[in-house]
Structure 1
């Protein structure tokens, strides 16, 4: 099956323009990782994670990838591709973005199964949390986490977020809302 045209990288002047636009977006480096603007070369990893985690089709994965990537132009924040410093391998993604029903920007993440439980999510989310403090300010973004997702709730707590019971009132009992204030020492 031929891949959809929208998933194919541009060429010529369009490729140069896309590279120029991406170069204007932030790049964050941590001890082991580089967080950078997504490229179409990252789409297969995004699609794989979406299929495994949510049962998404390729088209649904493309739509979400485009949606989060567009956040950079629309809101000044969006999707980061998380790569290993040592070999530029994409291991996951972190967002600081708005979804349709969100009342405020959300810090979220997705990592490939083989790259979980290695501290990459903590390292990458800490960097994006600090980016969010600088860009949006303390208390201006949250993580929405299902009560049953113990690992993500623990990560939000490690990142210094506190449960916002008032914001949780807008959701069913299963939804935790973690608000990010100033980083704890």
Structure 2
């Protein structure tokens, strides 16, 4: 069941939100558009985060917890100039999400991606991550980036390796909680 906060509210405030969202860079790939999240994207976000499939991301979450995570990831844009994008595929709007996130306990920004069940298996995650890495290198001027992965998440581990990331033993030791840290470096892929 959705809460009133999840619903679009037409009017001046909605138009203001749209103006703010238009400042978030849109990244286009061959098959995808990565764009600013909108309130109606939360349904796809909640479907991912409240499902057992979110176990590798600390889930499953309650819907209210998923809302808090969604809004926190969007707020990172206002605080750090990077954050969450919605992945729109040609035939699947709100196919998932990719982010340059920065959670409270993260030692540095991270690259993360998660898709709806219907969008998996089409190569969207890799295509979205490649676009975001290019943005990090070329537009933000970064030269390194981490991805924090649950070691049991085989699909994500394989994705990180396809992207050219390598395990960072020093960062893993500093975290000390068994999380795999994959290091992306500019020019490595």
Q: Do both proteins adopt the same fold according to a TM-score greater than 0.5, normalized to the shorter chain?
A: yes
Runs ≥4 residues deviating over 4 A: none
Gaps of 5+ in 1: none
Deviates more, 1:147-156 or 1:42-51: 147-156
CA shift, 1:133, in A, is 1.6
Asked whether the equivalents of residues 35 and 80 of structure 1 are also in contact (C-alpha less than 8 Å), the reply is yes
CA shift, 1:88, in A, is 5.7
CA shift, 1:8, in A, is 2.0
1:81-132 C-alpha deviation (Å, 9 max, x unpaired)? 0001x34611100010101100100100110112112100000011111111
How many residue pairs match? The answer is 182
Which residue of structure 1 lines up, in the alignment, with residue 78 of structure 2?
73
Which residue of structure 2 lines up, in the alignment, with residue 61 of structure 1?
66
Out of 76, 92, 105, which is 2:96 matched to?
92
1:158 aligns with 2:150: no
- For 1:61 and 1:104, the matched residues in 2 are separated by 22
Which residue of structure 2 lines up, in the alignment, with residue 122 of structure 1?
126
- For 1:67 and 1:173, the matched residues in 2 are separated by 23
- For 1:88 and 1:173, the matched residues in 2 are separated by 36
Asked whether the equivalents of residues 24 and 36 of structure 2 are also in contact (C-alpha less than 8 Å), the reply is yes
TM-score, normalization by structure 2: 0.90
1:138 aligns with 2:143: yes
- For 1:74 and 1:9, the matched residues in 2 are separated by 24
Which residue of structure 2 lines up, in the alignment, with residue 29 of structure 1?
28
| CA RMSD in angstroms, aligned pairs only | 1.5
The change in CA–CA distance for 1:63 and 1:80 in structure 2 (over 3 A counts) is: same
